[in-house]
A and B are shown apart, each in its own frame.
Chain A
């Protein structure tokens, strides 16, 4: 007879506010094979975990079921807890009674309690048949791939190389520096962007452990954390020979590398002006985007593209394509408020008699010194901020007119302008969707790479071994990008410091006696984890690639393939317990 312990978590009020947790424990205590059942406020807390360990010892448990939140949250936590008390980690199962019970059934507590009992019983059935397992040990390649040669990629590559590990840096364009190389002086102190960037651009190609590939792209990708193979098409670069930051390139070629970790630092693009017909849709020569204005500031002269004259009145329009869930991007692009304040300030310094207007919805100058910077633009440099949306730009007699509203005065305004700068929404860089598919990393609803957890795992992607740096995850300014890039490097350094890689053993296995080598499992596998053995007439499993989805087990006609600890008799027992 099994001796399973059942532990019901209140999750504060998250579960206990809806589910009668004491009743669940009482009912389960009498269920066959259950030796012990109790409830506690936060099972994941230290006293909660100690409770489980104590019960394992005192009740001599051979299996544990924790009824709590999603296994994505705490399966690892409780497996470690049980392992520390001497129980095999794979004899620990989670019954999800929060996301699947208490949260969706808040208005029907009795039903929720009944469903919780059925869910826990069913998981007890699974635990009853679980085999004790041990994780696989896999090799670990201590070399990193960094995709993107902007400030995020440069920083991440240097951090890893300076810690003593080789890095392959792949940059799509023919030079390093990314968007930062296009910027003029930076807020808050008008520091020279080029000087700061040069420090990194010089260091990277000179570093003996960094191999820079420019005009290069990732064209094929496979493997798993610790053991990725990547194919890069493009050209091998040499160290910079001229001060213009351009790298000399050799003939195009395709190379393959083994790497253990990947950092995606592919940056951002600007939403195209053609999407905004109300602002001319890119047809007016004197309407430009923020990066075009940066180029003028960087060159040290501000002029109208149409006739080369110095503009006397410039209008900036913020949120061009941002914060517009109906027509454009729903999100705020985060960096525009600050760079617009900087551009308007810089313009007023270059053209002291010029007048600057900024249309805004909210001024988002958050953090130490940022609000003060915008205040200075308004008060000392006389930049006029108008709270409202610009509805149209029209061209009249060689000049532009911006029509909009000032929501503070409640007036419609029309401002004649020599030049209009649109702070276009920042969007994921072109083809990052292709890269996402190639690397099998998730993206969010706007196409930015998704982080593993929005609060606590901001630099990790949900794909093990793939990390995120900079605006590829979401628009962010330089200091935040650099901190995050270093953070992503920290994750790689942690991974490379491991003596060995371990992988989950709860994967597909083949009973070779039953396997006919028909290959249906190979066709069914979405992860390239199944192959036919080169000479034996059986199918094999690459345990490192297998995600335990079960597609092969379903496809197998002979029941030769099963997922460990999800065997057919186990699943049937779970279903029966659920229906009982």
Chain B
């Protein structure tokens, strides 16, 4: 450690539910937090979810108080639309360079009124909506975004691409649009770092057996979350992408890319069994006469009231569970044909479905690799971040002062990610509390 007193301030990379929880735990104890996220607003994957198992609480309803609390917290400084570019130093004295990408909107002036988004003529497929809906070239991720400030997507902005338009500038009542804005780079000192980078889904394009992403009515689990969400592109109505019709038969395919060491990924993605049971249940709440089928290998419902939840899906919602792998998915006469095996009856199964929802394997975020290299953190062969020792040091890394939270270390569900994040926060609080104690002693 340097001669300077250690800095009781933490950098948290990733502002999903894990990063936010860790930030609140540290900030509520009175220490400063720098919370960095690549996206323009906080909330991460959880902001994309509809309702959560096993209580069916709406994700927005339980998440928004958190995002608002984080957004308003006197000890949390948000760096959204930003990335950590360099980290040097060691525990107590890390020097961090954060690049804040140009948003082309002066966020100090912007009131979040939303006129620019309403008036912008350019519509783009929305990544947040998992391509189930559109956004504008100037956009926020959702109307509940924190911070509720838009960014201009330069690649798709008519002005940036063709030199003409400036509709947003014309309609902005406070003159916040700034086409000249550039990236800014900030240097900060922190004493500890928590990495909470989260997960991605294995792409459908890797799975030709399920149509390889070319069949419009074969979508992934997150896309179906957006269809189920009241604030999603269909306002919670279940409409299939090809023709907007309400699907009457929906097939869910679990372990898509998971538990398949030969062709795809060897591990179990842990959360798909529960979210699929939930999605089938919610679909039946929306489409009472609809029929659902779930292909599974094992039903992994291990958690408080989880097994009971899947039992209710079977018994109360009449979801049909088929134990077996799907061998082929293809289009025929406006239907999506699903061929598979039911290993319990030993029969081949062919279902003419209106829509197929696959539960793809979890992957670490692609940005995890360069970040791990920069921070000197170990990863496994799939890129998941590794703790120092997995049994009794699950949130510590091999580097003093750096800790892990949430799905960056492997698939886990929300309560586990939240517990884990609080665990990481405890490590930071321990350090800071000791450092401030030492400072007090030195003062006396």
Contact A331 B57 (CB under 8 A): no
Quick check: B270 and A367 within 8 Å, CB to CB? Answer: yes
**Inter-subunit contact B419/A483 (CB<8 Å):** yes
Q: Is the CB of B267 within 8 A of A196?
A: no
Q: Are A362 and B391 CB-contacts (below 8 A) given A163-B434, A408-B344?
A: no
Within the assembled complex, what's the spacing in Å between the Cα atoms of A363 and B427?
34
B311 touches A200 (CB 8 A): no
Q: Please give me the residue from chain B that is nearest to A492 by CB atom.
A: B426
B65 touches A44 (CB 8 A): yes
* Distance of A191 Cα from B389 Cα, bound (Å): 10
Contact among B146, B344, B415, B437 for A46, CB-based, below 8 A: B146
A45 and B434 form a contact (CB under 8 A): no
List the B side residues contacting A487 at CB < 8 Å: 418-423, 425-426
Contact A11 B433 (CB under 8 A): no
Q: Does any Cβ of B come within 8 Å of A104's Cβ?
A: no
Most buried by A among B54, B58, B394, B426: B426
Contact (A151, B392) CB under 8 Å given A41-B143, A408-B343, A454-B415: yes
Query: Is the pair A368, B409 in contact by a Cβ cutoff of 8 Å?
Result: yes
Task: Check if A363 sits within 8 Å of B298, measured CB to CB.
Answer: yes
Which residue, B230, B261, B301, has most C-beta atoms of chain A within 10 A? B230
Nearest Cβ on chain B to A128's Cβ, whole angstroms: 27
Given contacts A42-B60, A45-B143, A163-B429, contact A486 B30 (CB under 8 A): no
For residue B410, which residues in chain A have a CB less than 8 angstroms away from its CB? 367-369
**Could you tell me if A493 and B430 are in contact, using CB atoms closer than 8 angstroms?**
yes
- Docked-complex contact A479 and B414, CB < 8 angstroms: no
Which residues on B sit within 8 Å (CB–CB) of A459?
Answer: 418-419, 422
* A42–B62 CA distance with the chains assembled, in angstroms: 12
Residue from A331, A371, A486 within 8 A of B304 (CB atoms): A331
Instruction: Say which size band chain B's interface belongs to.
Output: 35 or more
Q: How far is the CA of A334 from the CA of B305 in the complex (A)?
A: 11
- Bound complex: CA of A364 vs CA of B416, how far in Å? 16
Does B380 have its Cβ within 8 Å of any Cβ on chain A? yes
Contact A474 B148 (CB under 8 A): no
The CA of A215 and the CA of B390, in the complex, are separated in Å by 31
Stretch from A69-77, A241-249, A253-261, A282-290 forming part of the interface with B? A69-77
Contacts of A370 in B (CB 8 A): 267-268
Q: Does B52 contact A (CB under 8 A)?
A: yes
Could you say which residues of chain A place their CB within 8 Å of the CB of B298? 362-364
Once A46-B71, A456-B414 are accepted as A-B contacts, the answer to whether A325 and B144 lie under 8 Å apart by CB is no
Q: Which residues of B contact A479 (CB under 8 A)?
A: 390-392, 394
Is B418 touching A456 in the complex (CB atoms < 8 A)? yes
Complex Cα distance A89/B359, Å?
A: 45
| CB pair A46 B303 closer than 8 Å | no
The yes or no answer to B81 lying at the interface (CB within 8 A) is no
Give the CA-CA distance A479 to B388 in the complex, in Å.
12
- Rounded to whole Å, the gap between the CB of A17 and the closest CB of chain B is 8
How far is it, in angstroms, between the C-alpha of A186 and the C-alpha of B389 when the chains are bound?
Answer: 12
The interface size bin for chain A is: 35 or more
List A contacts of B392 (CB < 8 A). Answer: 151, 155, 196-197, 199-200, 478-479, 482
> How distant is A201 from chain B, measured CB to nearest CB, in Å?
11
Tell me the bound Cα distance from A45 to B421 in angstroms.
23
A1 contacts the other chain (CB 8 A): no
A88 vs chain B, min Cβ distance (A)? 19
Whether the pair B61, A491 counts as a contact (CB closer than 8 A) is: no
Question: A375–B260 Cα gap in the complex (Å)?
Answer: 11
Q: B261 — which chain A residues lie within 8 A by C-beta?
A: 372, 375
- Chain B residue with Cβ nearest A10: B230
Is B422 in contact with A491, judged by CB distance below 8 angstroms?
yes
A14 engages B423 (CB within 8 Å): no
Interface flag for B4 (CB, 8 Å): no
Taken together as a complex, chains A and B put the C-alpha atoms of A544 and B345 apart, in Å, by 62
Q: Once the chains bind, are A46 and B144 in contact (CB under 8 Å)?
A: yes
A396-454 contacts to B, CB under 8 A, are: 407-408, 410, 444, 448, 451, 453-454
Contact call B426/A493, Cβ cutoff below 8 A: yes
The answer to whether A484 and B423 touch (CB under 8 A), given A366-B300, A455-B418, A478-B392, is yes
Interface flag for B290 (CB, 8 Å) = no
What A residues does B426 contact at CB under 8 A? 159, 163, 486-487, 489-490, 493
| B65:A490 contact, CB within 8 angstroms | no
Contacts of A11 in B (CB 8 A): 58, 61, 230
Interface centre among B52, B60, B236 (most CB of A within 10 A): B60
B299 within 8 Å of A (CB atoms) = yes
Shortest Cβ distance from residue B386 to the other chain A in the assembled complex, whole angstroms: 9
Q: Are B430 and A162 in contact (CB under 8 A)?
A: yes
Query: Chain B 286-301 against A: per-residue CB contact (8 Å), 1 yes, 0 no?
Result: 0000000000001111
Q: Which chain B residues numbered 12 to 60 have a C-beta less than 8 Å away from chain A?
A: 17, 21, 25, 28-30, 52, 54-55, 57-58, 60
B24 to chain A, nearest CB (A): 9
A159 is contacted by which of B236, B343, B346, B430 (Cβ under 8 Å)? B430
A493 touches B346 (CB 8 A): no
Shortest distance in angstroms between A496's beta carbon and chain B's nearest beta carbon?
8
Report chain A residues within 8 Å CB of B30: 497
Q: Is B85 an interface residue (CB 8 A)?
A: no
Residue of B nearest to A43 (CB): B64
* Chain B nearest CB, measured from A427 CB (Å): 13
Encode A2-26 as 1/0 by CB contact (under 8 A) with B. Answer: 0000000001111001000000000
Residue pair B416, A330 in contact (C-beta under 8 Å)? no
Residues of B near A159 (CB, < 8 A) are 426-427, 430
What's the nearest-Cβ distance from chain B to residue A465, in Å? 15
Tell me if B90 is interfacial: C-beta within 8 Å of chain A.
Answer: no
How far, in angstroms, from A13 to B228 measured CA to CA in the complex?
11
B299 touches A362 (CB 8 A): yes
Contact, CB under 8 Å: B144 / A482: no
CA distance A479 to B420 in the complex (A): 10
Q: Decide if A334 touches B302 in the complex (CB within 8 Å).
A: yes
Tell whether B252 is near chain A: CB-to-CB under 8 Å: no
**Does B196 interact with chain A (Cβ within 8 Å)?**
no
> A164 to chain B: which residues have CB within 8 Å?
433-434, 437
B423 partner, pick from A151, A444, A490, beta carbons under 8 A? A490
User: Is A543 on the interface with B (CB-CB < 8 A)?
Assistant: no
Residue among A47, A77, A368, A488 with the highest chain B CB neighbour number at 10 A: A368
Does the CB pair B148–A454 fall under 8 Å? no
Q: Is A480 an interface residue (CB 8 A)?
A: yes
Task: Check if B249 is an interface residue, CB within 8 A of chain A.
Answer: no
Q: What is the chain A residue whose CB lies nearest that of B427? A: A486
Give Cα distance in the complex from A366 to B307, angstroms: 14
Nearest-neighbour CB distance to chain A for B346, whole angstroms, equals 7
Asked if B166 CB lies within 8 Å of chain A CBs, one says: no
27 contacts between A and B (CB under 8 A): A11-B230, A13-B230, A42-B64, A44-B61, A47-B112, A69-B61, A159-B430, A164-B433, A191-B391, A196-B392, A200-B392, A331-B305, A367-B410, A367-B412, A368-B384, A368-B409, A369-B267, A372-B266, A372-B267, A408-B343, A454-B304, A455-B55, A482-B394, A486-B426, A486-B427, A491-B25, A497-B30
Given contacts A458-B416, A483-B419, 5 further A-B contacts (CB under 8 A): A46-B71, A367-B268, A455-B55, A455-B62, A483-B416
Which residues of A approach B to under 8 Å, CB–CB? 11-14, 17, 41-42, 44-47, 49-50, 69, 73-74, 77, 84, 151, 155, 159, 162-164, 186, 188-189, 191, 196-197, 199-200, 323, 325, 330-332, 334, 337, 362-372, 375, 407-408, 410, 444, 448, 451, 453-459, 473-474, 478-480, 482-491, 493-494, 497
